[in-house]
Amino acid sequence: MICSQIILLTFLLLSAIPASERKNSLNLMPMPEKVEFLQGEFRLDSTFTVSVTGGNEVLLNKAVLRILKRLTDRTGLFLLNLSPRIGLDDNIHGMLINSKSPGKNELEMDESYSLIIKSEEISLTAQTDVGILRGLETFLQLVDADQQGYFFPAIKIEDKPRFKWRGLLMDVCRHFMPVEVLKRNLDAMAAVKMNVFHWHLTEDQGFRIECKTYPKLHELGSDGFYYTQQEIKEIVSYAGERGIRVVPEFDLPGHATSWLVGYPKLASAPGPYSIERNWGIFDPTFDPTKEETYEFLEKFFQEMAPLFPDKFWHIGGDENKGHQWDANPEIQKFMKANNLTDNHALQNYFNIRLEKILNKLDKTMVGWYTDAQPNLDKKYVIQSWKGRNSLYESARNGYRCLLSHGFYIDLIQSTEYHYLNDPIPQDSILAEDVQNRILGGEATMWAEFVGPETVDSRIWPRTAAIAERLWSPGTVNDLKEMYRRLDEIDFRLEELGLTHNKNYDMMLRRLAGNADIDALKTFVDVIEPQYTYARDHPHVFKSYYPLTRVVDAARPDPRTARKFDQLVDSLIIHSGKNHSEMDALKGWLNRWKDNHSKLSEIIKKSPILKEIEIQSQNLSRCAVIGLQILEHIKKGIKPDETWINNQSEIIKNAQIPKGETELLVANSLEKLLNEVKSSDSRLFKP
């Protein structure tokens, strides 16, 4: 009797909560298209069983086992029936899965699903197996807990993606990424419903795939770091089981140094060539006037094509300055004879030749946006890295397109910046046919400044927000709500083996020489790596330089700095009248004020930390300023202009990067100081 009263009371309380607020209590990312709350909840216990009908039995069995393993690891439950049952079984306490067809893992695949959770059963249905995979991830994100145990809220979800192409590029050339790194990131991609792994396999700094037809490619162009063809097949299969397509990129005609180390005769200038150790854009380029070039590439593509079953094939095609072409008399003669007026025209000629080769292999070519629109078959897909204007230009010209500008996660930009970077904003006036050519987008993880130890921290959790931008309706764009859910997803991604949080403390311990890392962590929690394109000062980086410094341990968009900044904003909005905000800010500032004296003792014993000593001092100085500002606000006494100007100089000095890191707290305090300085400041009004 008492139990039924509690259930009734709970239902009445939940019913009184507006649907929008109940939706905002869910920790789902990406947020589904449609969510409807039902009465009750499904209680999880050891009798939980999954029944599967339709689809590819082997694929779905593996998927269910993966989900149940994560579910039991999270809850500690000993399930009596871990293996899914095959065929419809209504007499179970658990989930009924029905896939209408295996479907094909391709661009046009149907990823929609319907998930209905009632107190007595759970049903997951989809047109294809891939839809089931997407629904299983949503199902796992819904598990919740209270004093009685674990449960799923009663709910009905109808969901499908907004964009067909939701990708992550990983550059494994500038710094090689072992197979286990790729697998854990594929698991994370699947968890947030991303569906394309763009594998950047060739670059000036390394050729990363075994080639049996031309073995000098990997033997001389890789420093011994490459994937065997068996490993390639393993990754493609692993991705496919998770509903992820693998699109390889073999960068041509530029970014080609590693190709030419073993085969210099294909270059536009005489060799010899050696693997590039620097970062940047370099001259070595294929000679597009030699028939030998196309014979070589055709045989290479013929060998590679069976390894990558996806229809799409990326040829790179960007950042060719054409210096070798300009300096080669034979190439200039060829251009004149064929009425090729400039290097854009010559590269277009090269691309058309590649397109014919790839067409014979039933592959559709993808390439980076260049400064001139191509003259290729309209099947060609253009990946835009120069902005939405170039994206729209290509779409209007009849090409299918992908957006990567604004999703360059290697640049250390904020989650907010990426999240609000919508390929088709809500106020877009693009014609419907133009919008339909925008397939989606890709986050790009270029690897100049990451290695296996740090790459996860640059991809996650920000890429989960990008995944939502490409999956969820455009109306799902509330930043505060996004960050709330992201903090939960960030934590949950760890169960997939990601090291974005785990390696943080480990790197700090190494930097501190195994001393207590509390002071170091307090400092690094409020800095972030400098914007990547600015990191070549004062160093000129090389591929073998260490990735073990403070800048490498520091993370993009650090949570502590973000929450401090949100507190500053809230204090200003509330005119300094909210005592809890004032107390929270004081707590942080007092901690930072005293931190340098503690950290300096560690710096004395660990020379690798010397480069951030000034920045550590700046944190303490800025904290003192912050406390003084809060004291003025509390007393209602506006500081004089001389004091404000003096503190402004200190803060501006603190904003200058040190050790290739930026002190984010300085930006927040500058905002607060500017508000204090303002003649109509809300902070000093009665």
Residue 612: CB partners within 8 Å, gap ≥ 6? 523, 527, 550, 603, 658, 659, 661
Residue type, 277: R
Match 């920000």 to its residue by tokens.
Answer: 462
User: How far apart, in whole angstroms, are the C-alpha atoms of residue 601 and residue 591?
Assistant: 16
Q: Distance (Å, rounded) from C-alpha 493 to C-alpha 136? A: 15
Is 57 among the catalytic positions? no
Pairing mode of beta strands 364-368, 381-384: parallel
Between CA 140 and CA 191 the distance in angstroms is 9
CA pair distance 647, 652, nearest whole angstrom: 9
- 319 CB burial (10 A radius; 0-12, 13-18, 19+): middle
Give the DSSP per-residue string, 389-452: HHHHHHHHTT-EEEE-TT--GGG---HHHHHT--SS-TT----HHHHHTEEEEEEEE--TT--T
- Per DSSP, the three-state class of 27 is coil
Query: In Å, how far are 410, 516, 517 from 510, measured between CA atoms?
Result: 24, 11, 9
Cα–Cα distance for residue pair 73/55, rounded to 1 Å: 27
Dist. CA 248–CA 199, nearest whole Å: 5
Burial 174-192 (b: 16+ CB within 10 A, else e): bbbbeeebbbbbbbbbbbb
Which one is catalytic: 298, 319, 453, 613?
319
Concatenating the DSSP letter of every residue in 303-369 gives HHGGG--SSEEEEE------HHHHH-HHHHHHHHHTT--SHHHHHHHHHHHHHHHHHHTT-EEEEE-
Active site residues per annotation: 319
